[in-house]
């Protein structure tokens, strides 16, 4: 939509050809009707009048992002302005031309108003260099078939739900790991009680006995490992955010979705009001023309009435845009605070999991080291195995006499 001609002051028409140099920060553009208007990219002012004619405009307070309902948030590098329309504030343009420029500069996608690329001052990221959630999910995302679209916020929520699921699956995985360890321990201690070769004797017998005993100790170590895995890894992974997490997400979801719905309904009102204004303006135009060519004997009164109705329609549109604006601003603010909250939650989740997986490797490492103490005695006894000594021992106990036979006397 273009600015309607009737909205442009005649002053603007006169200044169309103004060729005086522009003060610093100002650039001039041409509307589709060929009218010149001016934009100051620093102060974000827009005007139809040559900026050298403007008296210094008062400093406008920018929307401040001071408190978040979800707790402390990081300071944002640039002031979050609700939308491109904010920079129209404080200019001395007529109401209708404000709306016109608002429409000229912007682009509506799914009822959200975005600045036209290249038409308005560059937007700064709220948190530059951080790839923050609050900067990158303003658009809706089309699914691959292009049939339905998902709100950017929805994408963030899906990430949260997936993260929750991954955390649950990791706990399950650790549980399986624990089961292997427990079964292994059970098998080891069962085997250590096995009577096989219990009757081996001597130094070899001692080493063998120690080896069997070591299996039992080893089993203990694995049992300890499995129980530590349970309390120090599995349980924390399982219980992290188990109570209200999904409910909280739903709350965020409903809140943002409600604002979007409100925005859509206000957008519809704007569209209606815009159409009504166009109709009124056309009516006024027709009546004026009719009077001029004396097609009808419409009186001045009729024209006045039509003009009044047109002005009223303009006011209506203004009011609708303002309401739309307010809702979009609210949505914007909630998007920023909530997406930053989700960002914080994700950082916490990742750090929590990292911490507990580290605990896993520490425990695992400890279990590996156990062997020293368990196997060392076995090693020692094996070193002491001495066939000669064993023979001596055995012979001592089981000999059947060392007196050898001699020749028979006659
Ligand atoms: C434990 O022993 C059983 C057979 O008694 C075997 O099927 C299983 O795989 C063993 N488990 C481990 C972890 O060694
Ligand atoms: C002009 O007004 C007169 C009465 O004042 C009426 O009789 C006539 O029909 C009107 N003409 C038109 C074209 O409306
Ligand atoms: C847009 O909204 C802001 C407040 O949310 C308001 O001050 C401004 O005048 C609105 N602009 C229009 C064109 O209604
Ligand atoms: C050897 O002597 C020991 C101790 O007296 C005894 O327990 C063992 O049964 C004997 N072995 C044989 C093969 O007789
Ligand atoms: C898990 C475990 O029992 N590790 C042991 C490994 O062996 C050293 C001594 O060599 C013990 O101090 C550890 O407790």
Q: Which residues does a 6 A CB cutoff place in the pocket of ligand 5? A: 221, 366-367, 369-370, 372-373
- The CATH number linked to 326 is 1.20.1270.60
pLDDT digits (tens, 9 = 90+) for 103-154: 666 788 889 988 887 766 778 899 999 999 999 999 999 888 878 889 999 9
Query: What is the predicted pLDDT for the residue at 243?
Result: 83
Residue 290 has pLDDT above 90, yes or no: no
Q: Grade residue 286 by pLDDT with cuts at 50, 70 and 90.
A: confident
Q: Chain-centre distance of CA 53, in angstroms?
A: 46
Supply φ then ψ for residue 88, to 5 degrees.
Answer: -80, -15
- Domain that residue 239 falls in: 161-385
| Residue 19 belongs to a domain | no
Distance 75 CA to ligand 3 centre (A): 24
pLDDT digits (tens, 9 = 90+) for 305-329: 999 999 999 999 999 999 999 999 9
Which is the closest atom of ligand 4 to the Cα of 394? 1
| Residue 316 belongs to a domain | yes
Ligand 4 mutation pick, 199, 398, 399, 400, max ligand atoms within 8 A of CB:
398
Q: Grade residue 210 by pLDDT with cuts at 50, 70 and 90.
A: very high
Hey, how many other C-beta atoms are within 10 angstroms of the C-beta on 263?
Answer: 21
Instruction: Locate 222 and state its tokens.
Output: 């694995």
Q: Grade residue 64 by pLDDT with cuts at 50, 70 and 90.
A: very low
pLDDT digits (tens, 9 = 90+) for 223-234: 999 999 999 999
Q: What is the mean pLDDT of the chain?
A: 81
User: On the CB side of 161, how many CA atoms lie within 13 Å of its CA?
Assistant: 12
Instruction: Locate 40 and state its tokens.
Output: 């100051």
Distance 370 CA to ligand 1 centre (A): 21
Ligand 1 mutation pick, 178, 183, 219, max ligand atoms within 8 A of CB:
183
Instruction: Locate 286 and state its tokens.
Output: 């027709």
Instruction: Locate 288 and state its tokens.
Output: 């004026």
| Residue 121 belongs to a domain | no
| Residue 401 belongs to a domain | no
Residue 22: closest CA among 56, 50, 58, 57 = 50
| Residue 295 belongs to a domain | yes
Residue 244 has pLDDT above 50, yes or no: yes
Beta strands 26-30; 45-47: pairing state? unpaired
User: CA–CA separation, 128 vs 141, rounded Å?
Assistant: 22
Closest ligand to C-alpha of residue 294 is 2
Domain count, the chain: 1
316: left (phi over 0), alpha (psi -120 to 50) or beta: alpha
Contact assessment for residue 96 and residue 314, using Cβ atoms and an 8 Å cutoff: yes
pTM of the full structure? 0.69
Quick one: what percent of the chain has pLDDT higher than 90? 58
Residue 220 has pLDDT above 60, yes or no: yes
| Residue 352 belongs to a domain | yes
Q: Grade residue 100 by pLDDT with cuts at 50, 70 and 90.
A: low
pLDDT, greater one: 398 or 90: 398
Closest ligand to C-alpha of residue 369 is 5
Question: What per-residue string of b and e applies to 3-30 under the rule 16 or more CB within 10 Å gives b?
Answer: bbeebbeeebeebeebeeeeeeebeeee
Q: Grade residue 274 by pLDDT with cuts at 50, 70 and 90.
A: very high
Residue 241: closest CA among 122, 129, 401, 350 = 350
Hey, how many other C-beta atoms are within 10 angstroms of the C-beta on 139?
Answer: 14
Query: What is the predicted pLDDT for the residue at 101?
Result: 57
First to last CA, the chain: 145
| Residue 140 belongs to a domain | no
pLDDT digits (tens, 9 = 90+) for 336-357: 999 999 999 999 999 999 999 9
Residue 47: closest CA among 79, 22, 72, 80 = 22
- 3-state SS, one letter per residue, for the chain: CCCCHHHCCHHHHHHHHCCCCCCCCEEEEECCCCCEEEEECCCCEEECCCHHHCCCCCCCCCCCCCCCCCCCCCCCCCCCCCCHHHHHCCCCCCHHHHHHHHHHCEEEECCEEEECCCCCCCCCCCCCCCCCHHHHCCCCEECCCCCCEECHHHHHHHHHHHHHHHHHHHHHHHHHHHHHHHHHHHHHHHHHCCCCCCCCCHHHHHHHHHHHHHHHHHHHHHHHHHHHHHHHHHHHHHHCCCCCHHHHHHHHHHHHHHHHHHHHHHHHHHHHHHHHHHHHHHHHHHHHHHHHCCCCCCCHHHHHHHHHHHHHHHHHHHHHHHHHHHHHHHHHHHHHHHHHHHHHHHHHHHHHHHHHHHHHHHHHHHHHHHHHHHHHHHHHHHHHCCHHHHHHHHHHHHCCCCCCCCCCCC
Closest ligand to C-alpha of residue 223 is 5
Give the mean model confidence (pLDDT) for residues 358-373: 87
| Residue 151 belongs to a domain | no
Query: What is the predicted pLDDT for the residue at 375?
Result: 85
Distance 398 CA to ligand 4 centre (A): 6
């Amino acid at each position: 939509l273009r600015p309607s001609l009737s909205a442009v002051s005649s002053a603007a028409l006169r200044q169309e050809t103004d060729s005086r140099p522009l003060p610093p920060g100002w650039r001039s553009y041409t509307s589709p009707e060929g009218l010149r208007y001016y934009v100051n990219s620093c102060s974000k002012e827009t005007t139809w009048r040559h900026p050298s004619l403007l008296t210094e405009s008062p400093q406008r307070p920018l929307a401040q992002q001071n408190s978040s309902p979800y707790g402390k948030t990081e300071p944002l590098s640039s002031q979050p302005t609700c939308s491109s329309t904010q920079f129209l504030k404080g200019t001395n343009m007529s109401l209708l031309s404000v709306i016109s420029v608002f429409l000229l500069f912007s682009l509506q996608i799914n009822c959200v108003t975005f600045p036209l690329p290249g038409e308005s001052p560059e937007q700064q990221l709220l948190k530059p260099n951080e790839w923050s959630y609050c900067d990158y999910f303003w658009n809706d995302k089309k699914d691959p078939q292009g049939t339905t679209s998902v709100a950017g916020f929805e994408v963030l929520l899906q990430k949260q739900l997936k993260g929750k699921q991954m955390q649950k699956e990791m706990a399950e995985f650790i549980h399986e790991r624990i089961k292997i360890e427990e079964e292994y321990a059970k098998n080891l201690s069962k085997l250590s009680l096995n009577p096989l070769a219990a009757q081996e004797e001597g130094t070899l017998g001692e080493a063998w006995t120690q080896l069997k005993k070591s299996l039992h100790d080893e089993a203990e170590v694995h049992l300890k490992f499995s129980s530590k895995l349970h309390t120090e890894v599995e349980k924390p992974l399982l219980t992290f955010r188990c109570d209200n997490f999904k409910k909280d997400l739903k709350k965020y979801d409903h809140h943002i979705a409600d604002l979007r719905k409100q925005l859509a309904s206000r957008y519809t009102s704007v569209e209606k009001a815009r159409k009504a204004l166009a109709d009124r303006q056309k009516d006024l135009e027709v009546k004026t023309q009719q009077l001029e060519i004396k097609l009808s004997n419409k009186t001045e009164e009729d024209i006045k009435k039509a003009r009044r109705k047109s002005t009223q329609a303009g006011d209506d549109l203004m009011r609708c845009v303002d309401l739309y604006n307010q809702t979009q601003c609210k949505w914007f603010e909630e998007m920023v605070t909530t997406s930053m909250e989700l960002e914080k939650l994700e950082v916490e989740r990742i750090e929590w999991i990292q911490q507990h997986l580290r605990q896993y490797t520490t425990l695992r490492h400890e279990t590996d080291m156990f062997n020293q103490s368990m196997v060392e005695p076995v090693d020692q006894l094996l070193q002491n195995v001495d066939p000669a000594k064993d023979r001596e021992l055995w012979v001592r106990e089981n000999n059947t006499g060392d007196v050898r036979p001699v020749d028979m006397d006659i």
